Amino acid sequence: MKAKVKSLKVDLAKIPFKDPAKVNDGTNGKILETAMKKQGFPVDSTGIVDLPSIGVEIKTRSSDTNSNHTIGTMTYDSIINTPWDQTPFKEKLQIQYRVDIKSDEINSGTISTGKIVDLSHPEIQKHFEEAYEDCRSQLAKQGKIITGQTISGGQYGVLEHKPGSSGTGKSYALRIPNSGMKKILGTANMLDTGLFEFA
């Protein structure tokens, strides 16, 4: 069995995160990726996974939000033609380095440590796959893009249409409801994953 990362030695105290109450998670995500590059981590911002050499996706999140967790986007046609096992979504939902950011921590100059979370266990992956395939089936049956729609696959995944500035966007974002992600993270914390350390 291939060994997996169990921790990343990132100096979060030196990273100039923005107040999560004033920016979206994507902004702080880019700040974190840039800082990690400067700290020597092999971040690839153009690939599917942020740290492809060790198979880790980087995620930032406001601790105070209940919004859905964004995983990534695919076009309508790609979703219709791509089963779960072949999606970039699956690659992003394996091993994640997650940093939760609180407004009061930003204001006081302290940041909680980030944490590696292993989502690769079959029990967890089954939830993601079932939610995606449910959404994919619904999308195929409707046979077209519906502007601004949200297709629910239950608590472990929804597809949200991204209309874009023109209103004619052809992509859908896979997002995981916060309630479902809390259950997933709880399950991941309980499972023995056998990870290794990466500096």
Note the pLDDT of residue 60.
93
Could you tell me the pTM of the whole model?
0.89
Q: Is residue 199 part of a domain?
A: no
Q: What CA–CA distance (Å, rounded) separates 182 from 185?
A: 5
Q: Is residue 34 part of a domain?
A: yes
Q: What CA–CA distance (Å, rounded) separates 176 from 55?
A: 20
Cα–Cα separations (whole angstroms), residue 197 to 37, 79, 116, 190:
18, 35, 10, 19
Identify the residue with better confidence: 19 or 119: 119
Residue 2: pLDDT band (50, 70, 90) is: low
- Residues facing 130 on adjacent strands: none
HSE-up of 184 (CA within 13 Å, CB side)? Answer: 25
Q: Is residue 196 part of a domain?
A: no
Q: Is residue 51 part of a domain?
A: yes
Residue 196: pLDDT band (50, 70, 90) is: very low
Identify the residue with better confidence: 20 or 37: 37
- 21-61 confidence digits (pLDDT tens): 888 778 999 999 999 999 999 999 889 999 999 999 999 99
Q: Are 153 and 176 in contact (CB under 8 A)?
A: no
Whether 199 has a pLDDT exceeding 60, the answer reads no
Whether 198 has a pLDDT exceeding 50, the answer reads no
Please name which of 22, 14, 58 lies closest in space to residue 198, comparing C-alpha atoms: 58
Note the pLDDT of residue 112.
67
Q: Is residue 68 part of a domain?
A: yes
Please name which of 155, 173, 151, 176 lies closest in space to residue 164, comparing C-alpha atoms: 173
Average pLDDT over residues 130-149: 97
- Alpha-helix residue ranges (DSSP H) falling in the chain: 25-38, 76-81, 88-92, 103-108, 122-142, 178-190
Identify the residue with better confidence: 85 or 101: 85
How many domains does the chain divide into? 1
Q: Is residue 41 part of a domain?
A: yes
Q: What CA–CA distance (Å, rounded) separates 157 from 134?
A: 9
Tokens of 68: 């859905």
CATH assignment of the domain containing 143: 3.40.600.10
Whether 163 has a pLDDT exceeding 90, the answer reads yes
Q: What CA–CA distance (Å, rounded) separates 97 from 4?
A: 12
Q: Comparing 87-96, 129-138, 153-162, 180-189, which segment has the lowest mean pLDDT?
A: 180-189
Q: Provide CB contacts within 8 A for 14, sequence distance 6+.
A: 35
Structural domain of 62? 6-191
